[in-house]
C-alpha cells in the first residue's frame, strides 16, 4: 500500500510540474524525486 501511495504522490508531483511548465515545479519535482528509489520512478514511466 505504501508503494502505491508513493506512486500516486509522484503522479501528483509530475502533474504539478507539467502545469508549471518546467518553472519552479521542475525544481520541486527533482527535489521530491531525489529521495525515492530510482526503480520506483522508472516503473511509473
> 1-45 pLDDT, tens per residue?
677 888 778 777 777 656 655 556 667 777 777 666 666 656 765
Long-range contacts of 29-38 (CB under 8 A, 24+ apart): 36/6, 36/10
Range of the domain at 10: 2-44
The pLDDT value given to residue 19 = 60
Residue 26 CA to residue 6 CA, distance in Å, equals 18
pLDDT of residue 45: 57
Write down the pLDDT at residue 3: 78
Count of the separate structural domains present in the chain: 1
According to DSSP, residue 23 is labeled S
Amino acid at each position: 500500500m505504501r508503494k502505491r501511495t508513493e506512486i500516486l504522490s509522484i503522479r501528483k508531483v509530475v502533474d504539478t510540474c507539467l502545469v508549471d511548465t518546467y518553472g519552479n515545479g521542475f525544481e520541486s519535482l527533482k527535489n521530491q524525486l531525489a529521495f525515492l528509489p530510482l526503480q520506483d520512478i522508472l516503473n511509473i514511466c
